[in-house]
């Protein structure tokens, strides 16, 4: 049984902390998430009991850490349903996407080839493709969103042609919160022998993920958005694709051999992508995070979040002074603005006012700087829920939003 009160006990950040002197209400889960005790313990256990670099052969301590590190690959593989050798540890979603653009893109794209993305993509799923296009003279094109902000299979189909080599989309947009039908999109993309890259930064933490079922070619995500430590992420790729890719970074740990005649022999996948000392303690923390999420159950998490999201949207809709941009969101990411005398109050002013009441929400374009084309505003306030948020926290948000006027926003500095 899903018991939010019990769950909240697991999070030190939810034990009476404050923001500007008021009880902390953390609604910025799209940016990063809070960490449960088990994750914190996994990291500190590395520091306190098993510090050493991973390196299998030499002494017991290092061997044990290495085993725990490698075990995480299995845990991730089980979590997203792939083989463990298809799990590459990166420093985050951004690193993963750059690795794919560089490692797959440079070898496979040529002039006039096409890369399809959308205007809703995060900067990290946009700029690496711009760069790849600039180098290879390929073109980046935008799959149009439908009026609810979704990527429909029809729109993907319309954009596909034999020049398309890569399609890269978020499974869930970090501003619009809708779930793309990745499975159906993959089917279309594969008809043209293109590869489908899925930015799972906002989906993997919230809904059950099965890469076999989705049949995407790559899936990337960050631990810190799913109760794990910062600066560790995953690049899943189908093995035969990973095999042919060049690493973005070279160095220690990813080569078997090199010599002064410039012969270089790289390790096998996934190791060849993990140059330098990996984020060992964070990988161990990711393992604990996945264990934690699985114990609660991804379906329970998704159900609870859906209820809370529905409640939040219905309450927001009751407010005259709030516009919700994505009332049909599938996931607990709600983008809105507050009006005063019919004029939008600048998002940062609203966020500052909310902060004064303990509420932590983010304003801005949320790194999706092309999205104004769809939203017709270039900045919103975002309420991003996670499974530890409560109805009471949402009620507090609603209550404060009711009093959000330009005057009150000014008053915070008087």
Residues of span 255-284 touching a second copy by CB under 8 A: 255, 257-260, 262, 264, 275-282
Stretch 19-38 residues interacting with other proteins (CB under 8 A): 20
Q: Site residues for other proteins, window 265-304 (CB under 8 A)?
A: 267-268, 271
Q: Which is nearer to ligand PLP, 72 or 174 (CB)?
A: 174
Out of 33, 98, 168, 174, point to the residue binding ligand PLP (CB under 6 A). 174
The position carrying tokens 């379906």 is 299
362 makes contact with a second copy (CB under 8 A): yes
CA distance linking residue 349 with residue 355, whole number of Å: 10
Residue 134 burial (C-beta neighbours within 10 Å; 0-12, 13-18, 19+): exposed
**Helix (H), strand (E), coil (C) string for 35-70:** CCHHHHHHHHHHHHHCCCCCCCCCCHHHHHHHHHHH
| Helix, strand or coil, per DSSP, at residue 83 | coil
How far apart are CB 346 and ligand PLP at their closest, in Å?
Answer: 22
- Strand-pairing partners, residue 284, are none
**Beta-sheet pairing, 25-26 with 359-360:** parallel
Name which of ligand PLP, a second copy, other proteins, none residue 271 binds, using a CB cut-off of 5 to 8 Å depending on partner kind.
other proteins
Whether 367 sits among the annotated catalytic residues: the reply is yes
Question: Binding a second copy by CB under 8 A: which of 23, 84, 123, 190?
Answer: 123
44, 58, 74, 110: which one binds other proteins (CB under 8 A): 58
User: Read out DSSP for 259-272?
Assistant: -TT--EEEPPTTGG
Position 57 contacts other proteins (CB under 8 A): yes
Positions 3 through 22 that interact with other proteins (CB under 8 A):
20
Phi and psi angles of residue 274, each rounded to the nearest 5 degrees, phi first:
-105, 70
- What's the residue count for the chain? 414
Q: What separation in angstroms does the CA of 274 have from each of 55, 57, 251, 334, 341? A: 13, 18, 9, 36, 54
Nearer to ligand PLP, 365 or 389 (CB): 365
Nearer to other proteins, 247 or 347 (CB): 347
Backbone phi, psi, residue 115, to 5°: -120, 125
Report the chain's terminal Cα–Cα distance, integer Å: 47
List the single partner that 199 binds among other proteins, a second copy, ligand PLP, none, CB under 5 to 8 Å by kind: ligand PLP
Cα–Cα dist 308/322, whole Å = 18
Among 29, 94, 108, 126, binds ligand PLP (CB under 6 A): 94
Residue 356 vs 366, nearer CB to ligand PLP: 366
Structure tokens at 173: 């947009």
Single residue of 76, 119, 216, 338 touching a second copy by CB under 8 A: 119
Binding string, residues 363-402; x marks residues near other proteins by CB under 8 A = xxx------------xx-----------------------
> Can residue 370 be called a binding residue for a second copy (CB under 8 A)?
yes
Helix (H), strand (E), coil (C) string for 96-155: HHHHHHHHHHHHHCCCCCEEEECCCCCHHHCHHHHHHHHHHCCEEEECCCCCCCCCCHHH
**Can you tell me which residue has the tokens 């960050």?**
222
Q: Any contact of residue 363 with ligand PLP (CB under 6 A)?
A: no
User: Any contact of residue 346 with a second copy (CB under 8 A)?
Assistant: no
Which of other proteins, ligand PLP, a second copy, none interacts with 192 (beta carbon under 5 to 8 A by kind)? none
Question: For binding to other proteins (CB under 8 A), which residues are involved?
Answer: 20, 55-60, 62-63, 66, 256, 267-268, 271, 345-349, 352, 355-356, 363-365, 378-379, 406-407, 409-414
Question: For binding to ligand PLP (CB under 6 A), which residues are involved?
Answer: 30, 92-94, 122, 124-125, 170, 174, 199, 201-202, 222, 252, 276-277, 367
**Would you please indicate which residues are annotated as catalytic (active-site) residues?**
367
């Amino acid at each position: 049984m899903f018991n939010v009160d019990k769950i909240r006990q697991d999070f030190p950040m939810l034990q009476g902390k404050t923001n500007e002197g008021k009880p902390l209400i953390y609604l910025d889960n799209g940016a990063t998430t809070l960490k449960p005790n088990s994750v914190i313990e996994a990291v500190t256990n590395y520091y306190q009991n098993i510090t050493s670099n991973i390196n299998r052969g030499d002494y017991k301590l290092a061997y044990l850490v290495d085993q725990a590190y490698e075990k995480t690959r299995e845990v991730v593989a089980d979590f997203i349903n792939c083989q463990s050798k298809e799990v590459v540890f990166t420093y985050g979603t951004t690193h993963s996407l750059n690795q794919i653009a560089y490692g797959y893109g440079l070898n496979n794209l040529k002039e006039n080839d096409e890369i399809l993305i959308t205007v809703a993509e995060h900067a990290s799923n946009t700029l690496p493709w711009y760069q790849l296009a600039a180098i290879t003279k390929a073109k980046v094109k935008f799959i149009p969103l439908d009026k609810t902000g979704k990527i429909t299979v029809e729109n993907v189909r319309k954009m596909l042609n034999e020049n398309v080599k890569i399609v890269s989309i978020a499974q869930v947009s970090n501003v619009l919160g809708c779930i793309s039908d990745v499975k159906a999109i993959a089917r279309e993309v594969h008809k043209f022998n293109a590869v489908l890259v899925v930015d799972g930064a906002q989906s993997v933490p919230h809904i059950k993920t099965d890469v076999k079922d989705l049949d995407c070619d790559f899936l990337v995500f960050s631990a810190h958005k799913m109760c794990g430590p910062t600066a560790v992420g995953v690049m899943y790729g189908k093995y035969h694709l990973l095999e042919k890719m060049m690493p973005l970074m070279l160095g220690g740990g990813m080569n078997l051999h090199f010599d002064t005649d410039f012969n270089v022999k790289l390790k096998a996948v996934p190791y060849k992508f993990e140059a330098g000392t990996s984020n060992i303690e964070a990988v161990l923390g990711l393992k604990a995070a996945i264990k934690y999420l699985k114990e609660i159950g991804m379906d329970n998490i998704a159900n609870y979040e859906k209820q809370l999201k529905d409640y939040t949207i219905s309450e927001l809709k009751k407010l005259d002074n709030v516009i919700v941009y994505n009332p049909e969101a599938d996931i607990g990411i709600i983008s809105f603005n507050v009006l005063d005398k019919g004029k939008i109050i600048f998002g940062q002013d609203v966020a500052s006012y909310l902060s004064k009441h303990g509420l932590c929400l983010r304003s801005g374009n949320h790194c999706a700087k092309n999205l104004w084309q769809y939203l017709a505003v270039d900045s919103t306030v975002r309420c991003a829920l996670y499974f530890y948020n409560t109805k009471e926290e949402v009620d507090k948000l609603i209550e404060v939003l009711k009093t959000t006027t330009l005057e009150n926003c000014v008053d915070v500095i008087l």
